[in-house]
């Protein structure tokens, strides 16, 4: 099933993302995780659950051959309880640390463009592509979590939820400033 080379860079980035999320959740004051932020129509917990379930979808695809981001567990415990989210992060990190997925592992993905569960478009993809998508999607949701933290009076670290491309741009920009 391919070269057997591991996706080290993509996996390390995903682990780093999960560790960054874990660190924020561990420092979050009691009661903020599940609190709905009206301006965002969601909670830190709902965004965390969404992030973790996207990574779950990629992990499950290794056995099923199909990535289906729309069919997820939507685990209310992970959404409501910081401890459940931290447990899931630990499980995902362990899976990634042990993963040995061929670089060219072929998959299919199925998406609904109409928002209806019986009308899907299916196309070929790869584990690498979907893991990168889950990672970048996580960073996007972490940016929203950072906004939620700010609105709840508990600011996130400056680099939390900042996309890799933005970090690179900021470093380059800083080098060119007088």
Instruction: Please give the average per-residue pLDDT across 124-152, as a whole number.
Output: 95
Check: pTM over 0.85? Answer yes or no.
yes
Task: Quick: pLDDT tens for 69-123.
Answer: 877 778 899 999 999 999 999 999 999 999 888 767 889 988 888 777 678 888 9
Q: Bigger pLDDT: 74 or 137?
A: 137
Domain holding 48, by residue range, is 8-176
Q: Are strands 66-67 and 36-37 parallel, antiparallel or unpaired?
A: unpaired
34/176 Cα distance (integer angstroms): 42
Place of tokens 């690179």: 168
Q: Is 74 left (phi over 0), alpha (psi -120 to 50) or beta?
A: left
pLDDT band at 164 (very low <50, low <70, confident <90, very high): confident
Domain count along the chain: 1
Residue 3 lies in a domain: no
Residue 94 lies in a domain: yes
Residue 38 lies in a domain: yes
What is the structure's pLDDT at 117? Answer: 67
Residue 63 lies in a domain: yes
Report residue 163 CA to chain centroid gap. 12
CATH of the domain at 97: 1.20.120.450
What is the structure's pLDDT at 6? Answer: 52
Residue 1 lies in a domain: no
DSSP H helical ranges for the chain: 8-27, 44-64, 76-80, 82-98, 127-151, 164-176
Task: Quick: pLDDT tens for 15-36.
Answer: 999 999 999 999 999 999 999 9
């Amino acid at each position: 099933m391919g070269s057997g080379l591991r996706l080290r860079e993509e996996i390390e980035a995903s682990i780093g993302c999960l560790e960054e999320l874990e660190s924020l959740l561990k420092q979050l004051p009691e009661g903020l995780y599940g609190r709905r932020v009206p301006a965002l129509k969601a909670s830190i917990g709902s965004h965390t659950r969404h992030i973790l379930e996207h990574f779950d979808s990629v992990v499950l695809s290794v056995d099923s051959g199909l990535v289906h981001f729309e069919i997820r567990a939507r685990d209310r415990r992970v959404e409501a309880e910081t401890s459940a989210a931290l447990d899931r992060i630990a499980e995902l990190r362990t899976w990634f640390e042990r993963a040995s997925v061929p670089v060219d592992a072929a998959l299919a993905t199925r998406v609904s463009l109409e928002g209806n569960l019986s009308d899907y478009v299916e196309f070929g993809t790869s584990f690498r592509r979907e893991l990168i998508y889950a990672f970048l999607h996580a960073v996007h949701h972490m940016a929203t979590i950072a906004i939620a933290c700010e609105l709840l009076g508990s600011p996130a670290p400056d680099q939390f939820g900042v996309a890799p491309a933005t970090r690179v741009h900021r470093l380059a920009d800083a080098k060119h400033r007088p």
